[in-house]
Structure 1
Amino acid sequence: MTDPYVKLEITNNVGYIEFFHPAHNSLPGDVLAKLAQTITEAGANDAIKVIVLKSGGDRTFCAGASFKELIHIDDAATGKVFFSGFANVINAMRKCPKFIIGRIQGKTVGGGVGLAASTDFCLATKYAAIKLSELNIGIGPFVVGPAIERKIGLSAMSQIAIDANAFYPPEWAEQKGLFANVYDTTEDLDEAVKDTAEHLCTYNPEAMTEMKKVFWNGTDHWDDLLAERAETSGRLVLSDFTKETLKRFK
C-alpha cells in the first residue's frame, strides 16, 4: 500500500471505516476531511448499525497530523485550517448517532490519541502505546485535549501532555479508561472487534442512539471550542520557538 485512502466496507450491518497513509498513518488535511465525511455518511446510512474505526497496516494506528503540511504553515489562517482537520473528525464522531468502536493495533501519537478517545468503545493490542508529543515542538494537544480529558480525566491527560517524550503503555491507557481491553495479538483484537460490533447490532438502535447522547452530554459547545483550540495551535505554530524546532524536520 502506497497511496493514502479512506474507505468504508459494510459487513453484517457493521460499517468498517479504514484510513491509511504510508507515513505511519499520519493524516494530511485531505484525508482528515474525507474521514470526517465518511463518518458522517456512515452515521446516516440505514444499512449500518455500528461503526468500527480502524487504520491500514500492521503497526502504527495513527502518527497524528502530517508533519509535511505542518512545517509549511506560514500564516495563522492556514494554521487554523490545518489544526481544524482533527477537530472536524472528532466532532463528526461526537455527532454520529451510532456507536463507534476503535480498533487500535499499534502505537498512536497526538491526534491519533484524540481519535481513539473519541470512539465510544476502544479495543487495542499490547503494542498500542500512546504519546502526546505536541509540547515537544512548541504547541500543545489543544484540539484533541477535550476528547482525551473527557475519556481519561484531566489529571491523566495533563500527565501525558507534560511528559511529551514518553510513550505510555497500553496497560496504562486501559487503567485510565481509554482502552476497554488490551489483546496479545492483532488476530485476537480483530476477533474481539468483530464479536463486539456484531453483538451490538442485536441491540435496539434507538436505545444505542439515546445512550450515545448520554455519553456525550455536555459537549454541545465543541464546534466552537475546538475551533478556538485550532486557532490557538495555528498561532503557536508560527512562534519563533516552534519554527526553530520544526527546522529539524525539514
Structure 2
Amino acid sequence: MALPESNGSLSTKIENKIATVQFGHPASNSFPRQLLDSLTQELNNLSENSAVSVIVLKSVGTGAFCAGASFDELLAVSNQEEGVHFFSGFAHLINAMRTCSKIIVGRIHGKAVGGGVGIAATCDYAFATADASIKLSELAIGIGPFVIEPAVSRKIGKTAMTQMTLAAHEWKTADWALEKGLYAKLAHDQVELDIDIDHFTSKLASYNPDALFKMKKIIWEGTQDWDTLLLERAAITGKLVLSNYAKNALEQLKKK
C-alpha cells in the first residue's frame, strides 16, 4: 500500500496462511492519522481474507517499535474537532485489532511509547526483544493514555497500568513487561525474535481456522462497549491536547 512519504509506509506479505503487516515512519515509527487509517483498513481487509489464519504485526528498522502519536500532527491540532479526529484514529485501530477474525501476533523489536504500548497490548500474543522497554509518557505532555488504557489495563492489570501512567518519565524494562503479561516471550535479539515468531506462527497457522476464530472471540469477551468507550476517551484527549501545557510540552520534546 503506497502512502506519501510523510505519512509513513505500510506493506503486507501473505505466505502459508500468515499475513505479515509492516508499518513504518521516519519519526521512530510514530503514527500520523493517515497511517493509522491505512493500518486499520488493512486489518479489516485481512479479517475477511479466507487465505489468512494469522497476522504478524511488525514495524520497520532496528530502532523503536513505535513512538505512538505523531508529534507534528499533535502540534498541528488547532481545535477540539481536529483533536478528537486524530485520537479517534487510535480508537479505530484498537477496535479493528480486537474485532479482527484472525489471531494477531506482535513483533516488538524495540522501545514502545504511548500508543505503541497500546498496540502491543492489543496484540493477542506478543514477542519482544530484551531491549523492548515501554513507557506511557502522556501525562508528561499534558494529556493521558485515555484511548489505549482499556487495552493496557486488560493486558497487564489496572495496578501496573497506573504505575506506568503516573511514572510518566520512567521506562519499564522488557523483563517488567514480560512479568506483567504484556509480552509472552523475550528474545535476545531480532534474529532470535524472528526464529521464535516463525516457529510459533507456523504452528498456529496449522490449526483449525474455525477454532482460531472462535478462540479469538472468547479472548475478547466483554469488550463490546469499546466501540463507543474508546471514542469517548478520544474526545477527552482531543480536548486536553489543545491546552497550553500540552502545546509547550510537545514543542520542547520536538526540539530534543
Specify the TM-score bucket, using the shorter chain as the normaliser.
over 0.9
Secondary structure of 1:9's counterpart equals strand
Structure 2 CA distance for aligned equivalents of residues 17 and 8 of structure 1: 4
Unaligned runs of 5+ in 1: none
SS in 1 for 2:145: coil
Equivalent AA in structure 1 for residue 43 of structure 2 = I
Q: Which residues of 2 match residues 204-223 of structure 1 at below 5 A?
A: 204-223=208-227
How far apart are 1:149 and its partner, in Å? Answer: 0.4
Deviation sequence 1:187-226 (CA, Å, 0-9, x none)? 0000111111111011111111111111111100101000
Q: Does structure 1 residue 93 correspond to structure 2 residue 97?
A: yes
TM-score scaled by length of structure 1 = 0.97
Could you say which residue in structure 2 is the equivalent of 1:118?
A: 122
Please report how far the alpha carbon of residue 245 of structure 1 lies from its aligned counterpart in structure 2 after TM superposition: 2.3
Deviations 1:81-109 (A, max 9, x none): 11111111100001101100000000000
Which of these residues, 198, 201, 209, is aligned with residue 197 of structure 1?
A: 201
> Which residue is 1:239 aligned to?
243
Structure 1 residue matching 2:19: 3-state secondary structure: strand
Distance 2:101 2:32 in 1: 26
Give the deviation of 1:246 after TM superposition: 2.7
**Partners of 1:247 and 1:176 in 2: CA distance:** 33
Query: What secondary structure sits across from 2:76 in the alignment?
Result: coil
Q: How many residues align?
A: 249
CA distance in 1, matches of 2:137, 2:47: 31
Structure 2 unmatched runs, 5+: none
* DSSP-derived class of the 2:251 partner: helix
Which one-letter code corresponds to 2:167 in the other structure? D
**Secondary structure of 1:45's partner?**
coil
Deviations 1:30-75 (A, max 9, x none): 0010000011111111111110000011121000000000011110
- Structure 2 counterpart of 1:29: 33
Q: What are the superposed Cα offsets for residues 123-169 of structure 1, whole Å, 9 maximum, x if unpaired?
A: 00011000000000110000011000000000000100110101110
Match of 1:71, SS state, is helix
Q: 2:82 aligns with which of 78, 81, 93?
A: 78
- 1:106 and 2:99 matched: no
Q: Secondary structure at the match of 2:152?
A: helix
State the identity as a percent. Answer: 48
Q: CA deviation at 1:244?
A: 2.9
Query: What is the correspondence of 1:9-48 to structure 2 with a 5 Å cutoff?
Result: 9-48=13-52
CA shift, 1:238, in A, is 1.2
Look up the equivalent residue of 2:87 and give its one-letter code: F
Task: Determine the C-alpha separation between the residues in 2 that align with 1:247 and 1:109.
Answer: 18
Residue number among 171, 175, 185 corresponding to 2:175 in the alignment = 171
Amino acid at match of 1:101: V
Corresponding residue of 1:187: 191
TM-score (norm 2): 0.95
Q: Over the residues paired in the alignment, what is the CA RMSD in angstroms?
A: 1.1
The yes-or-no answer on 1:161 pairing with 2:152 is: no
Residue 127 (str. 1) matches residue 131 (str. 2): yes
C-alpha distance in structure 1 between counterparts of 2:34 and 2:153, whole Å: 27
1:229 and 2:229 are equivalent in the alignment: no
Secondary structure of the 1:175 match is helix
Which amino acid counterpart does residue 144 of structure 2 have in structure 1?
G
